[in-house]
């Protein structure tokens, strides 16, 4: 991935609806060459998909919850991972260091729904030993924009 690809990626993160003509200006290439670059970035999995950035409150899920989940020692974690992947409320699931093996980020309409989810779905997964629920009080920063590293200098 060279500096041109990186410039295209930065521009697309800032405005995912940017047209090829706009991206061509950023890349310094023709529209067709820019389109080919974007296509290659998609094929290589650098661009994982296209989606709208929605306001959680506007679509009925203003409550942000983080869950620390601890599995019983020695359990196969694949069942837990598969179950969590199927849960639309879970936006992110990360294996982490420390006593809790997983950290989940989820959104809900309110506390009652969050409580029902934790009690009825998370704790029902075989191997779950403990959960800790952290309710988000205010979101200071939330972004999906990655800090694209500059291209390494050429020799």
pLDDT at 24: 95
The residues that bridge with 105 in the sheet, in sequence order, are 66, 92
Q: What are the 10-residue block averages of pLDDT along the chain, 155 residues in total?
A: 93 92 94 96 95 93 97 91 98 94 97 98 96 96 91 76
Query: What is the reported pLDDT for 155?
Result: 62
Phi/psi-derived region of residue 87, left when phi > 0, alpha when psi is between -120 and 50, beta in every other case? beta
Choose among 58, 81, 66, 63: nearest CA to 127: 81
d(CA 131, CA 106): 14
Domain that holds residue 73: 57-135
- Domains: count for the chain: 2
Whether residues 131 and 74 share a domain: the answer is yes
The answer to whether position 152 is within a domain reads no
Do 80 and 20 share a structural domain?
Answer: no
Q: Are residues 61 and 127 in the same domain?
A: yes
Residue 149 lies in a domain: no
**DSSP secondary structure of 85-144:** HT-TTEEEEEE-SSSSSEEEEEEESSHHHHHHHIIIIITTSTTEEEEEEEE----S----
CATH number for the domain harbouring residue 25: 1.10.10.10
């Amino acid at each position: 991935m060279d500096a041109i690809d990186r410039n295209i990626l930065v521009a697309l993160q800032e405005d995912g609806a940017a047209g090829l003509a706009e991206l061509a200006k950023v890349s310094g290439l023709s529209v067709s060459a820019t389109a080919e670059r974007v296509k290659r970035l998609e094929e290589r999995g650098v661009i994982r998909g296209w989606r709208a950035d929605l306001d959680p409150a506007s679509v009925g899920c203003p409550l942000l919850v983080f869950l620390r989940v601890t599995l019983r020692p020695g359990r196969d974690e694949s069942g837990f991972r598969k179950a969590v992947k199927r849960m639309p409320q879970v936006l992110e699931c990360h294996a982490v260091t420390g006593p809790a093996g997983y950290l989940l980020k989820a959104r809900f309409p309110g506390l009652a729904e969050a409580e029902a989810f934790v009690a009825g779905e998370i704790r029902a997964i075989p191997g779950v030993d403990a959960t800790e629920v952290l309710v988000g009080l205010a979101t200071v920063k939330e972004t999906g924009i990655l800090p694209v590293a500059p291209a390494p200098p050429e020799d």
